[in-house]
Structure formats: structure tokens, C-alpha cells
Amino acid sequence: MKKRKTVLSCGLEETSRIADEFVEKLFTTGGKTGGKAVVVLLQGDLGSGKTTFVKAVAKKLGIRNTVTSPTFVLEKIYAIPRNAKKETGFQQLIHIDAYRLSDKDDLWTIGWEEIVKDPKNLIFIEWPERVSEVFLENTPKISFEFVDENTRNLTFCF
């Protein structure tokens, strides 16, 4: 059975703190992935905070690149600096936006089969419902709910 936890974020600073806690949990697990990439599904309406969360995770991992939504390019790959690699076991943060994908076959065109096999990849997928048949039922998911201009509910289901 999956664990479910909902937290309230009242702004960018709080979202960053929540993302920091998420990364700390990755550190404590030492990147244990069972021989495959860690995939986290990000579900929520437009503007609900999905990309903001990935930006905060990237910052905590020491990624200095500007992290933007991959809506038009579908996938962005960021190298994780050496110190975070050592702690988490991850070498790349991969951010995928499935909004413009028609079905799972479109996911294959960006090399899904290869990137999901590599345990050194940490993959975040926005709009996973567009290609839901690819994911196992127990794939970790964070749901983002817009409450008001500054407030979001984040529900972690792991």
C-alpha cells in the first residue's frame, strides 16, 4: 500500500523547503533504485507548481543551469554535480513534459526505454496521465492542487 501525505505550500520559499525535504530523503536512501531510474510523476493543472518543484529539486541538487518547463522540447536533461552524485547516486535529472504526447509511442521517441533503465537517472514527468499506460501502479506521484495565487496543496503518494 502506498503512503500518502498532503502538505500545504504558501509560496515559493515553502515549496523550496518541501523540495529540499524530498531531496534529503533521496540522500538518505543513497539513490537505491532497484537497478532502474527513479521516476516521479507530477500531476496537476497548468500553473499548479510542477515545474517550480522541479526547479527547487534541481537547486538543492546543486544544478546551476536555469531550469524551465520542457513543454515545447518535451525533455530537458541536467547533469547533477559530483557532490550530489556521491550522496544520491544520481548523475542526471531528467525533466519530461508529456502534455504534447499522444500516447506511449511518443515517449519512446525521446529514448524512454534507455533512460528508464539507467539507475543513475532521476526522472520527473509532468502530465503523466497522457502516457499512463507506461507506468506501474506503484510509481511515486506528487499531485499539485491550485488553492489560490500563492497556495498549493502537494500530495505525495509513494
Q: Where are the domains of the chain?
A: 4-153
Written as nine digits, the cell of 60 is 538543492
- CATH architecture of the domain with range 4-153: 3-Layer(aba) Sandwich (3.40)
Model pTM score: 0.91
Per-residue model confidence (pLDDT) at position 24 = 85
CB atoms within 10 A of CB 15: 21
pLDDT recorded at residue 3: 86
pLDDT band at 71 (very low <50, low <70, confident <90, very high): confident
By mean pLDDT, which of 6-10, 11-15, 69-73 is the weakest? Answer: 69-73
The Cα 48–Cα 66 span in angstroms is 19
Residue-wise over 69-106: b if at least 16 C-beta within 10 A, else e? bbeeebbbebebeeebbebbbbbbbbbbbbeebeeeee
Q: Measured on CA atoms in the order 133, 109, 70, 64, is the torsion positive or negative?
A: positive
Lowest mean pLDDT among 52-56, 83-87, 103-107: 83-87
Q: What's the whole-number mean pLDDT along residues 42-66?
A: 94
Q: Is 17 helix (H, G, I), strand (E, B) or coil?
A: helix
Average pLDDT on 112-117 reads 94
Q: How many CB atoms lie within 10 A of CB 152?
A: 24
Q: Are strands 75-79 and 92-97 parallel, antiparallel or unpaired?
A: antiparallel
Read off the pLDDT band of 137 (50, 70, 90).
Answer: confident
- What's the pLDDT score for residue 102? 87
